[in-house]
Amino acid sequence: MGITHVRESERPKENLMVRDGQKQWSHPQEAPPPERIPPQYQHHLEGKGRLTNQSLFNRLMVALLPLAPKPLVKKFAQRYVAGETVEEMLQTVEALNEQGISATVDVLGEFIHNAGDAYETAATYQLILDEIDRRGLDANISVKLTALGLLLDEALCLELMQNLVAHAAQKNNFVRIDMEDSGCTEKTIQLYLALRQTHTNVGIVMQAYLRRTHDDVIRIIEAGAGHFRICKGIYVEPRWLAYQHPDLINQNYAAILREMLTRGAYVGIATHDERLVWNALKQVRELSLGRYQYEFQMLLGVDHELRDMLVAAGHHMRVYVPFGKQWHAYCMRRLKENPKIAGYILGNLFKR
């Protein structure tokens, strides 16, 4: 498969390459260690300051993941991915709706190789919006701008997004722009602000681990575009760009959420971290917010118990529903994020 060179404006000395759908650093000495766990997961690896036997085992399992047979990963994937086809995804959305849960749909496959791929992804999203409308489902869409060509041709990406957001508006629907790695942050914000010049049915994601996010949030709110999802951030970023310590990330998350809520922005509070959920509930209560001024968001397949408790307590819940042919790459990422699960799954394999 082809290799696309992607120059990252915010990291002038480094080049990212996209090979077989995976981002790789072109200078190995500058690359993050391949099996490094994102900082927010490092507490899984720590037992009173040192690695426990169990966490070492999990780490080993993560390193072995690329060797795991695809059918096994697929078995695991069923929990996190709503199948490969639009029809399978719509059935998952329907089932969530029946439990009083909204959805946001993600077409897997953010790394594209040419403009044709970008058009194809945009067309799939248009079809999804049509089907959501036709079936009367409670769901919107989540889009990664790189899947619409952000790193290939920014003008094309803007044009495709303008069409998509306009199409969503016609269907009385909404488009959420996912946030990707730090090389995309400024471009994503700029494109979002450009879209907001003509449409209000589009929102953006902010990552609490980035040092710049607090300022970005204020800038976006002052531009009259405060419609956010807040999450911790999932990409491995260097210390000069992102907080590394889980406590600092959580404190920043809470502070940013307060900034958003007190300034009247609508916020999708995306987390499975019960400490952050607790803090968000406290803020919602203190600010006397109504059900339609915020929502909680969680990933498909993660912590149903917490999800159901929030729904039962009357909060609006939206579940992120990824689907598509590129489920394998997505699941490998999920497994790497959570070594506990990796250890459990692959551990069972080796026991047989």
Ligand X SMILES: Cc1cc2nc3c(=O)[nH]c(=O)nc-3n(C[C@H](O)[C@H](O)[C@H](O)COP(=O)(O)OP(=O)(O)OC[C@H]3O[C@@H](n4cnc5c(N)ncnc54)[C@H](O)[C@@H]3O)c2cc1C
Angle, nearest 10°, between helix axes 339-351 and 327-337? 100
Q: Which is nearer to ligand X, 43 or 134 (CB)?
A: 43
Pattern of binders to ligand X over 139-178, x per CB under 6 A?
---------------------------------------x
Structure tokens at 172: 């009385």
**Judged by CB under 6 A, does residue 59 bind ligand X?**
no
**Judged by CB under 6 A, does residue 341 bind ligand X?**
yes
Q: Which residues contact 36 (CB under 8 A, 6 or more apart)?
A: 236
Asked if 20 is an active-site residue, the reply is no
> Which of these segments, 26-34, 81-89, 110-118, 270-278, binds ligand X (CB under 6 A)?
270-278
Q: How far is CA 84 from CA 74, 323, 336, in A?
A: 11, 6, 21
**CB of 128 within 8 A of CB of 107?**
yes
Compute the least distance from the CB of residue 342 to ligand X, in Å: 10
Please pick, from the candidates 232, 307, 315, 336, the single residue that binds ligand X as defined by CB under 6 A.
232
**Judged by CB under 6 A, does residue 330 bind ligand X?**
no
**Judged by CB under 6 A, does residue 231 bind ligand X?**
yes
Please pick, from the candidates 101, 270, 310, 342, the single residue that binds ligand X as defined by CB under 6 A.
270
**Judged by CB under 6 A, does residue 302 bind ligand X?**
yes
> Which of these segments, 9-17, 46-54, 65-73, 331-339, binds ligand X (CB under 6 A)?
331-339
**Judged by CB under 6 A, does residue 334 bind ligand X?**
yes
**Judged by CB under 6 A, does residue 211 bind ligand X?**
no
Compute the least distance from the CB of residue 142 to ligand X, in Å: 7
Compute the least distance from the CB of residue 170 to ligand X, in Å: 25
**Judged by CB under 6 A, does residue 297 bind ligand X?**
yes
Strands 3-7 and 15-19: antiparallel
Q: Which of 178, 181, 216, 318 is catalytic?
A: 178
How many CA atoms lie within 13 Å of 173's alpha carbon, on the beta-carbon side? 30
Q: Which of 176, 196, 229, 307 is catalytic?
A: 229
Asked if 229 is an active-site residue, the reply is yes
Q: Which residues are known to be catalytic?
A: 178, 229
| Residues lying near ligand X in the complex (CB under 6 A) | 40-41, 178-179, 205, 207, 231-235, 270-273, 276, 297-299, 302-303, 320, 334, 337-338, 341
